[in-house]
C-alpha cells in the first residue's frame, strides 16, 4: 500500500521485458520489499552490490497496461516506498494497481500553479469524483473539475518541484488510479455511500495543516475552487472560511450562509476597488482596522441581489479583469473590504490573508471570507474550528503560517 506522496525522483538505469532497474538512493536505503514507479506497484528483487539501485520484476502485462512500456534508460520516474506501520498518510491510499492510462489533453499555467486536463478511458470516468483524490503517475492529487469526458488537477509548486509531473505536456500518457474508497464503493448503487466516499477521499487535506507544505496544499484547494479555514488567534480570535472570488459558485455562497453563518465580505486588493470606483464607507472603521467599502450589486442581475446565485455572480464580476465601474449598483448586498497595500506584512488579518491566498493561487486578488459562528451564536474558537474543518473537509491554517510562507 502506498500514499501517492512521492519520496524522490528516480532515474531508470535499465529496462527490458522482465525487469526495471531504478537509481533511487533515498528509497533504496530503506531496502523496501516493493516500490511504486510512476504509480505502478512492483516487487523488488536483489539488485547486486550497488545500494542506490532498486531492481523490480516487470511483466509484459504490466508494461501493456501502464506507461512503463515507454520508459527508457535515463527516464526520470516518481518513486515511492510502501507504507509501514506508523507512517503518516501524506496523500491518500494507493494500491499501485493502475486502473487506466489517460492522455494529457491540455496544460494551463495559472501563476505559480499548473492545471492539467486529462482524458481517461470512458470506463474510468465513473471513478472520478470532484474534490476527491486520484493518483496521476503515482502522485496523489485532488480532482479540481470534472467535465464530460475529462477532468483537471492543479499542481502546486511543491508538486512541480518534487515529481515528474512538471515535465508533462499535451499528448503525454499518464497512469491513473482512483481513490481506494471510491473504488470499493463503485458497484454500490445508493448515493449515501458515494457521498461518504467523497468525504473520506478529502480527509488527507482536512484539519490543521502547518508549514510551507500545509500552505501549498491550502493554496491548491483554493485554486481548484475549494475553501480554506484561516484561524486568527491574535487579532480577532476568530476563524474565517475563505474562497477565491474568481472561482466562486452559488453553492459556495449557500454554504457560507447556511453552515458558516458569519458575515460574508469580499476582500480585494485596493487597486481593484480604485479601478471600479467603489469608495470607502465614511468613518473610522471597526476596532480591528478593517476597511469596509460601499456594498454593491451586479447591474445585470434580475432579482434583489440577495440570492446566493446573485451574490456569487457579483463577486465573480468584481474579480474579473474586464469589470467596469458601471457594472455595479451602489449600495448593494456584497460587501467589499480593502486589503492593505503591503498585504500580510502590513496587517496580518483575514482580509489580507484572503487576498494573499488568491494571489498565491494565481487568481485575481479578490476573495470571499466569512467568520465561523457556532449554532448558539458565539464565535468559533480553535477547538470548534478543528471540528468544523474535519466535518467540512477543509484545511485549517493559522494566519502566522501564511505570513511566513506566502
Over the Cα atoms of the chain, what is R_g?
A: 23
Average pLDDT score over residue span 123-140? 89
CA distances from 21 to 43, 60, 282 (A): 12, 16, 69
pLDDT value of residue 205 = 61
pLDDT value of residue 49 = 63
Per-residue pLDDT reduced to its tens digit, 343-394: 999 999 999 999 999 999 999 999 999 999 999 999 999 999 998 988 888 8
Average pLDDT score over residue span 284-290? 80
Among candidate residues 16, 38, 245, 105, the one with its CA nearest the CA of residue 24: 38
Residue 88: pLDDT over 70: no
pLDDT value of residue 208 = 86
* 20 close to 107: Cβ distance less than 8 angstroms: no
* Beta-bridge partner residues of 255: none
pLDDT value of residue 191 = 47
Cell numbers representing residue 191 in the block: 448515493
Residue 24: pLDDT over 90: yes
CA distances from 84 to 8, 34, 179, 333 (A): 17, 11, 19, 53
Residue 257: pLDDT over 60: yes
- Alpha-carbon 150 to chain mean position: 18
pLDDT value of residue 95 = 85
Cell numbers representing residue 3 in the block: 500514499
pLDDT value of residue 195 = 43
Residue 19 neighbours by CB distance under 10 Å = 15
With residues binned 3-state (H G I as helix, E B as strand, rest as coil), the percentages for the chain, rounded to 5, are 30, 30, 35
Cell numbers representing residue 232 in the block: 486568527
pLDDT value of residue 226 = 87
pLDDT value of residue 87 = 61
Residue 253: pLDDT over 90: yes
Pairing of strands 228-232, 238-244: antiparallel
The chain-wide mean pLDDT, for the chain, equals 88
Residue 50 neighbours by CB distance under 10 Å = 13
Cell numbers representing residue 102 in the block: 489517460
Residue 402: pLDDT over 70: yes
pLDDT value of residue 188 = 46
Per-residue pLDDT reduced to its tens digit, 149-206: 999 999 999 899 999 999 999 999 999 998 776 665 554 444 444 444 343 334 446 7
Local confidence band at 132 (pLDDT 50, 70, 90 cut-offs): confident
Per-residue pLDDT reduced to its tens digit, 197-252: 343 334 446 788 888 888 988 898 888 788 999 999 988 899 999 999 998 999 99
Rounded percentage of the chain residues whose pLDDT exceeds 70 = 91
Local confidence band at 93 (pLDDT 50, 70, 90 cut-offs): confident
pLDDT value of residue 274 = 97
Residue 18 neighbours by CB distance under 10 Å = 10
Residue 317: pLDDT over 90: yes
The 3-state DSSP class for residue 311 equals helix
Architecture of the domain whose range is 206-405: Alpha-Beta Complex (3.90)
Average pLDDT score over residue span 275-279? 98
Average pLDDT score over residue span 128-137? 88
pLDDT value of residue 220 = 85
> Which residue intervals of the chain bear CATH 2.40.30.20?
8-80, 100-194
pLDDT value of residue 183 = 61
Q: What is the dihedral of CA 330, 331, 335, 337, to 10 degrees?
A: 60
Per-residue pLDDT reduced to its tens digit, 39-75: 999 988 866 666 789 999 898 889 989 999 999 999 9
Q: E strands, 233-295, where?
A: 238-244, 266-268
CA atoms within 13 A on the CB side of 86: 0
Average pLDDT score over residue span 73-97? 80
Topology (CATH) of 8-80: Elongation Factor Tu (Ef-tu); domain 3 (2.40.30)
Q: Quote the pTM value.
A: 0.59
CA distances from 176 to 28, 62, 148, 232, 363 (A): 25, 13, 18, 39, 28
pLDDT value of residue 143 = 92
100-194: what CATH class? mainly beta
No. of H helices and E strands in the chain? 12, 21
CA distances from 276 to 55, 143, 203, 310, 313 (A): 61, 34, 39, 19, 16
> Which residue intervals of the chain bear CATH 3.90.870.10?
206-405
Amino acid at each position: 500500500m502506498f500514499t501517492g506522496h512521492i519520496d524522490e525522483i528516480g532515474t531508470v538505469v535499465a529496462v527490458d521485458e522482465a525487469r526495471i532497474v531504478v537509481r533511487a538512493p533515498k528509497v533504496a536505503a530503506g531496502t523496501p520489499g516493493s516500490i511504486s514507479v510512476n504509480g505502478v506497484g512492483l516487487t523488488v528483487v536483489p539488485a547486486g552490490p550497488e545500494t542506490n539501485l532498486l531492481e523490480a520484476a516487470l511483466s509484459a502485462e504490466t508494461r501493456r497496461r501502464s506507461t512503463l512500456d515507454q520508459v527508457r534508460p535515463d527516464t526520470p520516474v516518481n518513486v515511492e516506498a510502501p507504507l509501514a506501520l506508523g507512517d503518516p498518510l501524506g496523500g491518500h491510499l494507493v494500491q499501485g494497481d493502475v486502473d487506466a492510462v489517460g492522455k494529457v489533453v491540455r496544460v494551463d499555467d495559472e501563476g505559480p500553479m499548473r492545471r492539467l486536463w486529462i482524458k481517461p478511458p470512458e470506463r474510468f470516468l465513473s471513478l472520478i469524483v470532484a474534490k476527491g483524490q486520484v493518483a496521476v503517475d503515482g502522485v496523489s492529487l485532488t480532482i479540481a473539475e470534472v467535465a464530460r469526458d475529462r477532468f483537471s488537477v492543479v499542481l502546486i509548486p511543491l508538486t512541480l518541484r518534487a515529481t515528474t509531473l512538471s515535465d508533462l505536456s499535451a499528448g503525454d500518457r499518464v497512469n491513473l488510479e482512483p481513490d481506494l474508497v471510491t473504488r470499493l464503493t463503485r458497484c454500490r448503487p445508493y448515493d449515501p455511500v458515494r457521498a461518504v466516499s467523497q468525504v473520506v477521499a478529502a480527509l488527507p487535506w482536512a484539519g490543521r495543516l502547518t508549514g510551507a507544505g500545509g500552505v501549498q496544499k491550502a493554496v491548491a484547494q483554493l485554486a481548484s475552487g475549494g475553501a480554506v479555514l484561516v484561524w486568527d488567534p491574535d487579532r480577532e480570535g476568530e476563524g474565517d472560511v475563505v474562497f477565491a472570488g474568481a472561482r466562486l459558485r452559488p453553492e459556495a455562497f449557500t454554504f457560507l450562509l447556511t453552515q458558516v453563518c458569519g458575515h460574508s465580505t469580499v476582500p480585494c486588493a485596493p487597486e481593484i476597488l480604485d479601478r471600479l470606483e467603489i469608495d470607502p464607507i465614511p468613518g473610522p472603521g471597526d476596532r480591528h482596522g478593517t476597511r469596509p467599502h460601499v456594498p454593491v450589486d451586479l447591474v445585470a442581475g434580475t432579482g434583489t441581489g440577495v440570492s446566493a446565485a446573485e451574490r456569487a455572480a457579483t463577486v465573480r464580476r468584481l474579480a474579473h479583469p474586464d469589470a467596469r465601474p458601471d457594472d455595479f449598483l451602489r449600495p448593494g448586498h456584497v460587501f467589499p473590504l480593502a486589503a492593505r497595500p503591503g498585504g500580510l506584512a502590513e496587517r496580518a488579518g483575514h482580509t489580507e490573508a484572503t487576498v494573499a491566498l488568491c494571489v498565491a493561487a494565481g487568481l485575481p486578488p479578490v476573495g470571499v471570507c466569512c467568520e465561523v459562528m457556532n449554532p448558539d451564536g458565539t464565535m468559533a474558537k480553535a477547538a470548534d474550528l478543528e471540528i468544523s474543518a474535519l466535518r467540512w473537509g477543509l484545511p485549517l491554517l493559522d494566519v502566522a503560517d501564511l505570513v511566513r510562507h506566502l
